Structure formats: C-alpha cells, structure tokens
Amino acid sequence: NAGVTQTPKFRVLKTGQSMTLLCAQDMNHEYMYWYRQDPGMGLRLIHYSVGEGTTAKGEVPDGYNVSRLKKQNFLLGLESAAPSQTSVYFCASSYRGLSQYFGPGTRLLVL
C-alpha cells in the first residue's frame, strides 16, 4: 500500500516549456487535489476532482490544467511554464472530502 505517490520528485524547466506532474493513489479515494506551497503562503488549492472524469478549479488555477481519466490518477499540466510557477506541488486524496492524505511533493524550478 503506497498511499499517494508523485512523479517526478524534482524538475527544472525553462520558461515556456511544458510538463505534466503525475499523482497516483491506491486507496480507492474518490477525491483528489493539487496544491502548491510557497513560503509564507501555506497550501493553495490549484484544481481538484471529486470523481473520475470530473475536475474543478480551486483558488489558483491559472496556468494549470488537470485531467482525471482514471480514478487512481490525477495529472497536473503546465502548458507554458513561468518563473512564478516555481513552487512545491503536493497532491492529496481523500474519501468523500474527509481527511486528506498527501503525497511527498514535487519541487519545480522554472528558470
């Protein structure tokens, strides 16, 4: 039982490049979330999903897209990376919106 895993753990991008972050959970949770964590800002919700095939915007969705094609996976895409997207990204999953379980995080540096 791996819980929530994230791929990759660390990535460096140049401005304008694209990439996809993968989140996978093996707890059969319906809800999945993507957050970014910046110094002094806490965690801010980017997008979330309440079930396979559904997604919704969170607090800071601009510049990101997501997809939930399979219940266990939640992908976060950056189409054209900007330095302002340098952050630590956390994925989480929960059973019907209750306690969230987090992945280990992905450190992204955009130059």
Partner 1 sequence: AQKVTQAQTEISVVEKEDVTLDCVYETRDTTYYLFWYKQPPSGELVFLIRRNSFDEQNEISGRYSWNFQKSTSSFNFTITASQVVDSAVYFCALSEKGTGNQFYFGTGTSLTVIP
Query: CB of residue 47 vs partner 1: minimum separation in angstroms?
Result: 11
Q: Does 60 bind partner 1 (CB under 8 A)?
A: no
Q: Whose CA is closest to 88, among 100, 79, 99, 76?
A: 76
Q: Find the binding residues for partner 1 in span 65-94 (CB under 8 A).
A: 88, 90, 92, 94
Q: Does 64 bind partner 1 (CB under 8 A)?
A: no
Among 5, 17, 20, 45, binds partner 1 (CB under 8 A): 45
Among 2, 40, 62, 69, binds partner 1 (CB under 8 A): 40
Within 13 Å, how many C-alpha atoms sit on residue 47's CB side? 20
Region of 19-27, 45-53, 62-70, 78-86 interacting with partner 1 (CB under 8 A): 45-53
User: How many angstroms separate the first and last alpha carbons of the chain?
Assistant: 36
Q: Is 19 exposed, middle or buried (0-12, 13-18, 19+ CB in 10 A)?
A: middle
